[in-house]
Amino acid sequence: MNYPAFPLAQGLYDPQNEHDACGVGFVANIKGKRSHAIVDQGLQILKNLTHRGAVGFDPKLGDGAGILIQIPDPFFREELAKQGVVLPPAGQYGVGMVFLPQEPASRFACEYEIERAIKDEGQVLLGWRDVPVDNADLAETARKLEPVIRQVFIGRGAGVTVTDALERKLYIIRKSSGHAIQALRLEHGKEFYVPSMSARTIVYKGMLLAQQVGPYYKDLQDPRVVSALALVHQRFSTNTFPTWELAHPFRMIAHNGEINTLRGNVNWLRARQGAISSPIIGKDLDKIWPLIYPGQSDSASFDNALELLMMAGYSVPHAIMMMIPEAWEAHSRAAARSTSTTRR
């Protein structure tokens, strides 16, 4: 028998809406209750999205997959205590997930620049932690490109009183250290990447298949790792080749699709750089440029631009609408009509 490429239209399903694109999933406890079950459910969603990701010449070589969760404070508190490190209360420290070069000299240089940036920004280096992984099931190509993965713990400085302010300092630390590392022109400097550095969330991702994320990152198997939300992504690479750093989720988003105006968006942002200011970020704004490095994917570029708006004080809905011109124009027109009606 001959079967159609897609099922026939039925109910809410229409085969015309089928596209090759990434798979995205999200699960959350609407009351904000943290549990390991949410993490497990996120990983199960990820496994269910296997068909949405691409596979290379090796059936174990995927375009990338990952999960974003809330920082599991009880877990990290116990793990750091083994090193004699006492973490501050939740919200008063941040965790950076860091991809580092395998080559020792380049790795030490990258760690040094992160520690320098922490000190320069008046924050406190609490310690480092090696992230336990199991790469036995990875494709040979993925293992060759596999970074050394470590977590850096950063306490708030004396001048930082709220978590939002700490988030902005972590943002500047990440950008400042990244620019310094690029300026060093290390032989293996391109292998440095920070998937996340936040006091609220953490990203576990890599050049992995959907079903490899949980087994690869041993932390995700620990019942002490709890979260009230999980954002997962299985990548179908279209405009860039697969790499460890371009797997999703990014720090703010997990994206399904392709932005066809990417080059224009990046150029417009670069053209406006000199006119951008922020009373919240202040002089630290000078430390973030360039905002987008050449070679980043459309999703990574979008994530960087969105992150800047949120660090400048915009709410998530407001920042998202600004990133989507049609939505922002519709909102502006509606606001203008509302104001006009009120005045009449």
- List residues with catalytic annotation: 22
Structure tokens at 151: 């977590």
Which residues lie across from 150 on neighbouring strands? 98, 130
DSSP state of 129: E
Residue with tokens 């407001």: 318
* Cα-based distances in Å from 215 to 66, 153, 210, 220: 12, 24, 10, 8
Q: Strands of 65-70's sheet, edge to edge?
A: 23-28, 229-234, 65-70, 201-206
Strands 93-100 and 148-155: antiparallel
Helices and strands counted in the chain (H then E): 10, 8
Of 120, 70, 85, 118, the C-alpha closest to 249 is 70
Instruction: Check residue 111 and report its DSSP letter.
Output: H
Are the C-beta atoms of residues 94 and 127 closer than 8 Å to each other?
A: no
